[in-house]
Amino acid sequence: MASGRRRPAGGAFRSRQDWLKYGGLFVLAVVAFGVAAIALMGPRNPDEAGPAAASPSAAAPSATASVAPSPAFTGTATPPTPGTLGIELPAEPALLILGDSYTAGVGADQPDQGWAYLVAAELGYPATVDGAGGTGFAWGGGAQDEQGEEYEVRLRRIAANPAFVPNVLVLQGGQNDAAVRNPAEVEAATAQTIEAARRFWPGVQVVVLGPSAPRPLAEELRGVNSAVRAGAAAANAPFIDAAEGNWFTGANSPGFDADGAHPNTAGHAHIAGKFLESWAGLTR
């Protein structure tokens, strides 16, 4: 047998370990050299630096982010379709009900038994009731419309007194506007009256109650009712439609009629009840 130096057992394994060790040190050296090179190549001027990566707190929505509240309802953001409009009832309502002889309580045994007084008492808001017989949106009163007491004129007079500032306004009427031959004039006057009220009292919430009467007069008011309804829609104001709602029918009119043109005490209570039902669906 040939003699020679015998390699220690496991020598081949230790040789592989040495290679792996030295190879790992070589890779680490290369990586360190690359990082240093990148650092040296970076921008020296902070103004020339690229955009910084967004931090997690900036990229994710904050749990404390505020949400803009929805705007208070003004009537201008809802399409002018009758039945879809409403009002944003103020925290402390101050109510003004303005209208014709119906609002004045004509036909009831006592004026304070009129529908407007009953509604004001039921709602419990500080309220002023202003009714003037023979007047309307376009009709100023008198046999020849000569009195100049159209609703806008009366509203302007009330607004001149700073002692009472309403934030809720109910405009009732249209019966006397039937004397105006041109329905477009009634429509325009209704819209103009609503817009005038909003100028007099910014933020005021306006509701229009259309004409109503016991039959057979109720049937004669459908034309002017359409004109008042169109004017309210043009001004984006809610319209309570007593005529198309058939508040007065052939069956109930005899018991609610005072003189052929006005409701009696029971008729006024009937209007008040119907109004409050509609009111509940309009207020938010």
Q: Say how far residue 226 (Cα) sits from the centre of its chain.
A: 24
- The confidence score (pLDDT) of residue 283 equals 86
Q: Is the pLDDT of residue 106 over 60?
A: yes
Kindly report the pTM of this predicted structure.
0.71
Q: Is the pLDDT of residue 241 over 90?
A: yes
- The confidence score (pLDDT) of residue 239 equals 98
Q: Which CATH number fits domain 95-282: 3.40.50.1110, 1.10.230.10, 3.10.450.50, 3.40.50.2300?
A: 3.40.50.1110
- The stretch 17-40 carries a mean pLDDT of 38
Identify the band that residue 242 occupies on the pLDDT scale cut at 50, 70 and 90. very high
How does the average pLDDT of the chain come out, rounded?
A: 78
pLDDT digits (tens, 9 = 90+) for 19-29: 334 444 333 34
- The stretch 125-135 carries a mean pLDDT of 97
Identify the band that residue 84 occupies on the pLDDT scale cut at 50, 70 and 90. low
pLDDT digits (tens, 9 = 90+) for 263-280: 999 999 999 999 999 999
Closest Cα to residue 139, out of 153, 156, 160, 128?
153
- The stretch 144-162 carries a mean pLDDT of 96
Q: Is the pLDDT of residue 231 over 50?
A: yes
- The confidence score (pLDDT) of residue 85 equals 80
Q: Report percent pLDDT > 90 for the chain.
A: 68
- The confidence score (pLDDT) of residue 146 equals 92
- The confidence score (pLDDT) of residue 129 equals 98
